């Protein structure tokens, strides 16, 4: 996607061929800066602190993290330690484990001297495949949006097609395009009169900061709303569809996504609003069935609840990023980062291979 006319991916191999460049997402939307990752430790730290985030992107960062580790020490012991270090950074998105296993399984049989180069090739392939998968998700989602828009009653045909999304499942969460936002970009480019309701997505506000930033750069009309507004908008016919991403999808089609997604699915169900989940194959965990019982939910720092980051808009510190405390001294916070939406609340899964019911048969028909 383009920022000020320049095409960017979220992660890239630097010209030295040994270090990795990433967009620093902690500084967005107020400052666009990049960082260079030179070691496995730096890659792990970037994932843990959410300099990079979003399920597909942390998978690719993990893959390059193994490359960085193997450049320093290509031994079996170093490979195993780096795998564990990176895999422990964030527990919910299965893309991380998937990408780490893919690189490890590719390089482990090789002589140590060949491992770093092979990891570089494999990580680059994962990144390129992610871009292709996300663009294909965009095409399949576009067809759904076009059908839904055309099926609206005659008096609503001239109005914007309103889509609600939660968190950031855009190009910043992937390598390019995004998952849930890819159909939105495709629709906008195809000339559909689309408007996006952007859930702010407390506590880290990925919607208000990242999704709004992306949509703005692409010129997609959008409005940021507080997380609690979606149900009200649905009751008043102001949402034509909901589309979100997922960090882990079970084989029966339960989806685990940013905290608050489940409440949106319940409201959509109650108001007959279609609820779509967009995902690449790397998000499917074929080893588990019941998402509520089996998916590990990351508990992040309570400080993300009790404090909030923003840009100071006046006074001597105007323009600087600052963190302020929201809660009284002494109040505790609790911060589960994800929740699970059961398959029964999902209208359909939109994958790179096409659209499927959220069920084991639906997924197996696509991926058998």
Name the residues annotated as catalytic. 247
H or E element: which one contains 241? strand 241-244
Single out the residue of 133, 144, 169, 265 in contact with ligand MRU (rule: CB under 6 A).
169
Q: Tell me how far apart the alpha carbons of residues 23 and 30 are, in angstroms, rounded to a whole number.
A: 13
| Contact region with ligand MRU (CB under 6 A), list: 50-58, 220-228, 305-313, 322-330 | 50-58
Structural contact between residues 320 and 236, judged by C-beta atoms closer than 8 angstroms: no
Q: Strand 222-225 vs strand 248-250: parallel, antiparallel, or unpaired?
A: unpaired
Single out the residue of 245, 253, 260, 291 in contact with ligand MRU (rule: CB under 6 A).
245
Q: Any contact of residue 56 with ligand MRU (CB under 6 A)?
A: yes
The pattern of x and - marking residues 5 through 44 that bind ligand MRU according to CB under 6 A reads ----------------------------------------
Interactions with ligand MRU, residue window 193-232 (CB under 6 A): 206
Judged by CB, which is closer to ligand MRU: 120, or 258?
Answer: 258
Q: Any contact of residue 258 with ligand MRU (CB under 6 A)?
A: yes
Q: Any contact of residue 100 with ligand MRU (CB under 6 A)?
A: no
Q: Which two tokens stand for residue 295?
A: 């998916």
Q: Tell me how far apart the alpha carbons of residues 275 and 127 are, in angstroms, rounded to a whole number.
A: 28
Q: Please, is 274 exposed, middle or buried when counting C-beta atoms within 10 Å of its C-beta (0-12, 13-18, 19+)?
A: middle
- Going by C-alpha positions, the residue among 245, 184, 172, 175 that lies closest to residue 214 is 172
Cβ 248 to ligand MRU shortest distance, Å:
9
Q: Tell me how far apart the alpha carbons of residues 166 and 234 are, in angstroms, rounded to a whole number.
A: 14
Judged by CB, which is closer to ligand MRU: 40, or 244?
Answer: 244
Residue closest to ligand MRU (Cβ)? 245
- Going by C-alpha positions, the residue among 281, 285, 349, 276 that lies closest to residue 132 is 281
Q: Any contact of residue 140 with ligand MRU (CB under 6 A)?
A: no
Q: Which residues bind ligand MRU (CB under 6 A)?
A: 53-56, 93, 167, 169, 173-174, 179, 206, 245-247, 257-258, 337
């Amino acid at each position: 996607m383009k920022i000020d006319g320049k095409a960017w991916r979220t992660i890239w191999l630097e010209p030295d061929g040994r270090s990795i460049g990433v967009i620093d997402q902690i500084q967005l939307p107020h400052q666009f800066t990049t960082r260079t990752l030179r070691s496995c430790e730096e890659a792990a730290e970037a994932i843990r602190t959410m300099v990079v985030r979003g399920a597909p992107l942390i998978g690719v960062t993990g893959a390059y993290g193994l490359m960085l580790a193997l450049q320093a020490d290509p031994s079996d012991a170093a490979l195993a330690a780096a795998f564990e270090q990176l895999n422990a950074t964030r527990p919910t998105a299965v893309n991380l484990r998937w990408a780490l296993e893919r690189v490890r399984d590719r390089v482990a049989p090789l002589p140590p001297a060949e491992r770093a180069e092979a990891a570089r090739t494999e990580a680059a392939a994962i990144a390129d495949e992610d871009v292709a998968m996300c663009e294909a998700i965009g095409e399949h989602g576009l067809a759904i949006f076009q059908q839904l828009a055309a099926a609206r009653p005659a008096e609503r045909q001239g109005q914007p097609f309103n889509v609600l999304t939660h968190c950031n499942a855009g190009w910043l969460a992937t390598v390019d395009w995004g998952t849930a936002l890819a159909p939105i970009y495709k629709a906008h480019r195809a000339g559909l009169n689309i408007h996006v309701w952007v859930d702010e997505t407390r506590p880290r506000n990925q919607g208000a900061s990242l999704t709004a930033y992306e949509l703005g750069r692409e010129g997609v009309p959008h409005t940021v709303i507080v997380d609690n507004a979606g149900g009200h908008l649905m009751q008043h016919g102001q949402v034509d569809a909901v589309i979100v991403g997922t960090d882990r999808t079970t084989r029966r089609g339960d989806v685990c996504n940013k905290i608050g997604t489940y409440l949106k699915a319940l409201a959509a169900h109650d108001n007959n609003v279609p609820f779509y989940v967009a995902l690449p194959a790397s998000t499917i965990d074929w080893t588990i069935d019941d998402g509520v019982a089996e998916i590990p939910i990351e508990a992040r720092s309570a400080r993300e609840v009790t404090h909030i980051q923003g840009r100071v808009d006046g006074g001597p510190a105007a323009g600087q990023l600052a963190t302020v405390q929201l809660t009284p001294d002494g109040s505790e916070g609790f911060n589960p980062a994800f929740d699970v939406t059961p398959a029964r609340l999902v209208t359909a899964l939109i994958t790179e291979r096409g659209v499927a019911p959220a069920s084991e048969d639906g997924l197996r028909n696509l991926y058998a």
